[in-house]
Amino acid sequence: PERKKALHPTALSIQLTNVHKRYGRQYVLRGANLRVSRGEFLSLMGESGSGKSTLLNLVAGIDRPDDGQIFLFDQDITDFTDDELTHLRRRKIGFIFQFFNLLPNLQVFENVSIPLMLRYGITAGPERVRSVLDQVGLADKAHHMIHELSGGEQQRVAIARALVAEPEIIIADEPTGSLDRRTGDRILELIRSQVHAAGRTVLMVTHSERIAATGDRVARIRDGQVQDA
| Interface residue list for Mg ion (CB under 5 A) | 52-53
The nearest distance, CB 200 to ligand ADP, in angstroms, is: 23
Give 53 or 78: the residue with its C-beta nearer to ligand ADP: 53
User: According to the binding rule CB under 6 A, does residue 51 interact with ligand ADP?
Assistant: yes
Are the CB atoms for 179 and 188 separated by under 8 Å? no
The nearest distance, CB 213 to ligand ADP, in angstroms, is: 19
Residue 54 interacting entry, from Mg ion, ligand ADP, none, C-beta within 5 to 8 Å by type: ligand ADP
The stretch among 8-16, 45-53, 162-170, 177-185 that binds ligand ADP (CB under 6 A) is 45-53
Contacting residues for 74 by C-beta, under 8 A, at least 6 apart: 5, 6, 9, 10
The nearest distance, CB 68 to ligand ADP, in angstroms, is: 16
Q: Which of 49, 125, 126, 151 binds ligand ADP (CB under 6 A)?
A: 49
The nearest distance, CB 16 to ligand ADP, in angstroms, is: 14
The nearest distance, CB 143 to ligand ADP, in angstroms, is: 33
Give 152 or 177: the residue with its C-beta nearer to ligand ADP: 177
Binding-site size, ligand ADP (CB under 6 A):
10
Give 102 or 205: the residue with its C-beta nearer to ligand ADP: 205
Sign of CA dihedral 65, 71, 76, 81: negative
Task: Tell me, residue by residue from 15 to 44, as one string, x for binding to ligand ADP by CB under 6 A and - for no binding.
Answer: --------x----x----------------
Residue 46 interacting entry, from Mg ion, ligand ADP, none, C-beta within 5 to 8 Å by type: ligand ADP
DSSP the chain: ---PPPSSTTTEEEEEEEEEEEETTEEEEEEEEEEEETT-EEEEE--TTSSHHHHHHHHTTSS--SEEEEEETTEE-TT--HHHHHHHHHHHEEEE-TT----TTSBHHHHHHHHHHHHH-TT--HHHHHHHHHHTT-GGGTTSBGGGS-HHHHHHHHHHHHHTT--SEEEEESTTTTS-HHHHHHHHHHHHHHHHHH--EEEEE-S-HHHHTTSSEEEEEETTEEEE-
Q: Which of 17, 53, 194, 201 binds ligand ADP (CB under 6 A)?
A: 53
The residue ranges that bind ligand ADP (CB under 6 A) are 23, 28, 46, 48-54
